[in-house]
Chain A
Amino acid sequence: MITSRTLNLREIVVMAFISAVFGVLYLLWVFLNQVITGVLGPVGGGILAGSWIMAPIVCALIIQKPGVALIAELIAAGTEVMVGSVNAGSVLILGFTQGLGAEIIFAVFRYRSYKLPVLMLAGMAGTFASFLTMYAMYGYSQYSSVVIWAMLGVMLLSGIILGGWGSHYLTHSLVRTGVLHNFALGKAEYQKRTEDSA
C-alpha cells in the first residue's frame, strides 16, 4: 500500500482526539504542576515538564509523517484553550516551541527512525525548547545560575523519561490492542507479527 507524505483527514482527526485526551490530562497536570511549583519553586515544576511533550511524540510515533509532532502539539494546545485553560497564551506559545523542538529531531532522522533513543532525543529537544521559552517568558534570567542549571537538568531528564520512554511505553501498549492497524506503526507491528508466525 502506498502511503502519501501528507496528512489525510483520518489522521488529522485521530491526532485531534489523542491530543484532546492529553489536553484533558494536561488540565489536571497544570493544577498539580502549580501546586508543586508553588511549594518547590520552578525547579520542582520541571519534574512534570516531560509530560507536556508526550502528545506530539505519541502522535509522531503512530503516524510517522513529516510535521506530525509540531501539528499535534499545536492541536493539543488549541484543544486546551477550547476546554478553558487558565494559561491560554503561554500554552499556545509553549505548544509551538515544544512541538518545533521535537519536530527538528524527527526531521534530522529524516522521518525514518522512530526507535526509543530517537524518541528520547525528541523529548529532550522538546523540553529544552520549552525551557528556553519559559526562560524568556517568566524572566528566569533574574535567578542565580545554580537554580537555572538545576532546572534545566531536571527538565531534560523529565523530557527523556516521561516524554521519550513514557510515550514509547504507552504507545507500544496501545499497538497491542490493535486499534492502530490503519497507521504506520500498527502496520509495521502487524507485518512483524505475521512474519514471526509464518
Chain B
Amino acid sequence: MLDAFQKKNCFLQKVNPALKLGSVLVIIAVMIPIFDPWTPLLLFGVTLAMIVGLGGVSIRFLSLLLLPFLLFGFSFIWIQVVFPDERGETILFTIASMPVALENVFTGVSLGMRALVFASWSLLFVLTTEPTRFMLSLVQQCKLPPRFGYGMMAAYRFLPAFQQELQQIRTAHRIRGLGEKRKLKQFKRYFIPLMAGAIRKAERTAIAMESKGFDGKRSRTFYQRIQWNRSDAVFAGMFVALLVVLFYVRMEWFI
C-alpha cells in the first residue's frame, strides 16, 4: 500500500528527498513558538491538501493513518485544561468544581494541532518518498558516507526476512510446547533469537559487500543518480511562499 503511493508519478514524488526532509525540519522549527490554535489548523489543512492534491494519496488511506494521532492530539487538550501553566480568565463552564477556561482550551487545541501538523508533514515526506531514493539522496546530496547509506539500505532489504524469521521462531516455540502466556518472558524468548539471527546475517552481508569490492569510497558510480530538477525549485518556491503567507496571515488576524 505504502509503496504504491511512493511510486506514483505525481509532483511531490519528483521532489528531491533531501529537500523534502529539510522542509519537515523547518516546519518543526517554525511551529515551536506558536501557541494560537488557528495557525496550526491552517497549516494542517494546507498540508492535507498538498498530500492529496500534489502527492496523489487517497483521502481514505490518509485519514486512516492520522486517526490514532487524533487521540494523541486530544491528550494535549485535556491535560492543558486540567493542568495548565496559568489558568485563563474566560471561564466556559465547570466540571466538578474545576473551571474550564477558554484560553486553556485554545492552547490545548494549538498543541494538539501542532502534533498533528508534525505528523501530517512527516506523512507528506514518507508517503511520497521511496526509501531507496531517500538513502541515495542522502549519500549523493547530503554527503552521507556510502558505508552508512548502503549499510542502512541492506538492513532495510532484510526487514521482510526478519518478519519471516519471527514467524519461524514462533512456530518453533509452539512445537516445543511453549504457550503464549507470561508476556515479559515471552519478549526475551523472541528477541534473543531474532537479534542473534540478525547479527549473523549482518556479518555475512558485510563480508559479501566487501568481497564484491565495496570499499565505501566516495568515488563510486551509481546506478541511479538523484539530481536537482525543476520540481525542486517549484517545491522550494511553494514552501517559502507558504511560510510567508502563514506569517502574514498570523500577523494580520491572529495576534
Query: Which A residues are closer than 8 A to B by beta carbons?
Result: 7, 9-10, 12-21, 24, 31, 34-35, 37-42, 45, 71, 75, 78-79, 81-93, 136-139, 141-147, 170, 173-174, 177, 179-180, 182
The reply to whether A137 and B192 contact each other, CB–CB distance below 8 Å, is no
Q: Are A13 and B151 in contact (CB under 8 A)?
A: yes
Is A12 touching B195 in the complex (CB atoms < 8 A)? no
Residues of B within 8 A of A83 (CB): 131, 156, 159
Interface residues on B, range: 35 or more
Chain B residues near A87 (CB-CB < 8 A): 118-119, 122
**CA–CA, A1 and B21, complex, Å:** 42
The reply to whether A13 and B122 contact each other, CB–CB distance below 8 Å, is no
Task: Report yes or no: B27 in contact with A144, Cβ–Cβ below 8 A.
Answer: no
**Residues of chain A lying within 8 A (CB to CB) of residue B147:** 7, 9, 12
8 Å CB contact of A20 from B21, B71, B76, B155: B155
CA distance A143 to B78 in the complex (A): 11
Minimum CB–CB distance from A63 to chain B (whole Å) comes to 11
Given A9-B216, A83-B156, A142-B107, check contact A42 B75 (CB 8 Å): yes
Q: Which residue of B lies closest to A173 (CB)?
A: B192
- B126 lies within 8 A of chain A by Cβ: yes
Interface pair A93/B25, CB less than 8 Å apart: yes
B4: min CB distance to chain A, Å: 12
Q: Map CB proximity to A onto B74-85 as digits: 1 under 8 Å, 0 otherwise.
A: 111011100111
Across the interface, do A78 and B152 meet the contact criterion of CB distance under 8 Å?
yes
Residue of A13, A84, A143 near B84 (CB, 8 A) is: A143
Chain A contacts for B107, CB-based, 8 A: 139, 142
CB-CB under 8 A from B24, the residues of chain A are 88-89, 92
Give 7 pairs: A residue, B residue, CB < 8 Å, sorted on A.
A10-B206, A12-B148, A15-B151, A21-B194, A41-B78, A82-B135, A85-B126
Assess whether B35 is in contact with A170, with CB atoms less than 8 Å apart.
Answer: no
Query: Is A21 a contact partner of B162 (Cβ separation < 8 A)?
Result: yes
Find the residue from B114, B122, B192 having the highest chain A CB count within 10 A. Answer: B122
